[in-house]
A = this chain, B = another copy of it.
């Protein structure tokens, strides 16, 4: 299974070439990730406050295929890749909603981070199991 959101390209996300700045696609993927967690009933903030755990990215990769422009409606799709005790990987792609043309795709690898020691730690079991049931 996958998780999807639709979103429209904002003016502020474009650059002087008239296309979305490449760094912003990572923000679009994060919006999808935030909505996934909201749909599963928790937030980054609850992770931070309840478990004293954050889930920062340790790797980010994106391959750009065609540019999105102001006003385009996009579909952002998240897939679950490898999950270990301490890390999980989301594959993503972004397509134009109307014709499914590929805009970009890539992955994000996240790690559990203990906010007291600031060291790698196990992902909260609650997070891991909910994400697995939603996306496996």
Q: Copy number of this protein in the oligomer? A: 4
Evaluate contact between A64 and B70: CB separation under 8 angstroms: no
A85 contacts chain B at the CB level, 8 A cutoff: no
The interface bits of chain A over 4-32 (1 if a CB of B lies within 8 angstroms of the residue's CB, else 0) are 00001011101111110111101100110
Evaluate contact between A43 and B71: CB separation under 8 angstroms: yes
Residues of the B chain whose Cβ atoms lie less than 8 Å from the Cβ of A12: 15, 21, 23, 27, 30
The interface bits of chain A over 83-124 (1 if a CB of B lies within 8 angstroms of the residue's CB, else 0) are 000000000000000000000000000000001000000000
Point out residues on A near B: beta carbons under 8 Å.
Answer: 8, 10-12, 14-19, 21-24, 26-27, 30-31, 34, 38, 43-45, 48, 54, 56-64, 67, 69-71, 115
**Apart from the given pairs A16-B69, A23-B30, 17 other A-B contacts in the complex at a CB distance below 8 Å:** A10-B30, A11-B44, A12-B15, A12-B21, A12-B27, A14-B16, A15-B16, A16-B16, A16-B44, A19-B56, A23-B26, A26-B26, A44-B70, A57-B64, A59-B61, A59-B63, A61-B62
